[in-house]
Copies of this chain bind each other. A is one copy, B any other.
């Protein structure tokens, strides 16, 4: 097989993440021989341009995956549950960006900077973690490797684009209504499928995804469970509070950690992160240099700054972790998994 004849399918091609996937495939010049763009029935028929060529989006069916080498899914959990096994049956490897299979024991959950080798154990489906998990583990892994890790407490500052294009539109139109002192009715956020909807403009909403029995949201449980799985640390203490904010793109995270070995200096942690794969260190308080959501948009890296020692515990540290939730948090991590599959010669 030459390096330019993979048949790639993108499922959910018209969505916020799907569009970013296509942009990333184009920018990375992924070796595509044939491209199939799929969607729900509702979006089928739309036209999308890729590398100057026009494609018509087709309704995804089991037969759509005949001859496909790798299928990138981002069309919601129910689509993945129905069609990912069909794609695998037809010989495709599925990289699934939904939460449908993430915690399945036989499905690798992969962030290439952390656990690329887990790809070797795939059984057809590979799961792409939740956006807020991905950026955190990229920042934590270099520290874990050197000093070990025992505890993580994270509070997130999440953008609305994680909830889709409709959520972005809702935020913008609500914001304009408030500036104009006009009435409005929240209809989508915090969670499209939940009972109540709340104002997102000029507000902070401590709910992302549905609530579970234990009082945590599903988004929070995703961060907790996925972090343990990706880092292979079942006993790692992880706690999360996930909050939606009036930001279009770019998730930020306030992360408190405790390391196994005590006494690493801030300079040592900065040194580790400066050379870590996928990380850009932005940490110079004297010159007001720190990561911000508005600066990360359109970039692949995870930006880390505000690294400082806890004032009480010798093994405690605080940091601020920012990344484009549609890129490293979704599209780029999925394409990166596809690239790793090529590199590890797992795609054929």
User: What is A's interface to B at a CB cutoff of 8 Å?
Assistant: 151, 153, 155, 157, 172, 175-176, 179, 190, 194-196, 198-199, 202-207, 211, 214-216, 224, 237-239, 241, 243, 245-248, 250, 252, 254, 256, 266, 285-288, 290-294, 305-313, 316, 318, 320, 322
Q: Once the chains bind, are B293 and A203 in contact (CB under 8 Å)?
A: yes
Q: Give the residues in chain B near A252, CB-CB below 8 Å.
A: 204, 206, 243
Q: Give the residues in chain B near A179, CB-CB below 8 Å.
A: 172, 175-176, 179
Q: Once the chains bind, are B292 and A205 in contact (CB under 8 Å)?
A: yes
CB closest chain-B residue, reference A240: B318
Q: Once the chains bind, are A312 and B243 in contact (CB under 8 Å)?
A: no
CB closest chain-B residue, reference A224: B311
User: In the assembly, what is the distance between CA of A303 and CA of B19, in Å?
Assistant: 40
Partner of A320, one of B241, B308, B310, B316: B241
Q: Give the residues in chain B near A153, CB-CB below 8 Å.
A: 153, 256
Q: Once the chains bind, are A294 and B199 in contact (CB under 8 Å)?
A: yes
17 sample A-B contacts, Cβ–Cβ < 8 Å, listed by A number? A155-B254, A194-B288, A196-B288, A199-B292, A199-B294, A202-B293, A203-B250, A203-B294, A206-B254, A211-B285, A215-B266, A215-B285, A215-B308, A216-B308, A241-B320, A243-B252, A246-B247
Q: With A245-B245, A256-B239, A292-B204 known to touch, is A287 a contact of B195 (CB < 8 Å)? A: yes
User: In the assembly, what is the distance between CA of A306 and CA of B290, in Å?
Assistant: 29
Q: Once the chains bind, are A204 and B245 in contact (CB under 8 Å)?
A: yes
User: In the assembly, what is the distance between CA of A208 and CA of B198, in Å?
Assistant: 27
